[in-house]
Structure 1
Amino acid sequence: MGLLKLSWLVLSCWVLSLLLFGAHCKDEEVSVKFLKAPHPFSHRNTATFVFQILVGGNVNNCTNCSVSCRLDGGPSSDCGARKVFYGNLQDGNHAFEVCINGYQGCTPYNWTIDTVPPTAYVTASTPFTNALNVTVNITFSESCTGGGGFGCSSTNTCNLLVYGAGQVIPSSFTILQPNVEYSLLVSLSPAVMFGRVILVMDKDFCTDTAGNSFLRTANSSFYVHFDRRNVSVDLRIHVPEKLLQLNSETRTVQATSNYGNLKVYLYFSEPVLNSSVEILNSLSTSHGALLPIHGQSLGNRRFGFQIANVPTIAVITVVLNSGSIISRPGTSVSPIAPVTFLYDSQRPSVRLSTITGARTRQHRIPVSIVFTEPVFGFNSSFVSISGGLLQRQVSLF
Structure 2
Amino acid sequence: MASKAILGEEINKETESLYKKEKKLGEGTYAVVYLGHHIKTNRKVAIKKIKLGNMRSGLDMSAIREVKALRELRHPNVIELIDVFSHKTSLNLVLEFLDTDLEIVIKDKSLVFMPADIKSWMMMALRGLDHCHKCWLLHRDLKPNNFLIAANGQLKLADFGLAREFGDVKRAMTSQTVTRWYRAPELLLGATNYTGSIDIWAMGCIFAELSLRAPYLPGASDLEQLTTIFRARGTPSEDEWPGMMKLPMGYSFEKFPKPQFSDLFRGSSEEAVDLMNKMLTFNPTNRISAADALKHPYFANLPRPTAPEKLPRPLKSLAGGEEGEGGGDEVVSVDDDVVASKKRLFQDAFDDGLEAERQKMGEQAAKRMDFSISSPA
| TM-score, structure 2 as length reference | 0.17
Structure ranking higher on relative contact order (CA contacts 8 Å, 6+ apart):
2
The structure with the largest helix share of the pair is 2
The structure with the largest strand share of the pair is 1
**Rg (Cα) greater in structure:** 1
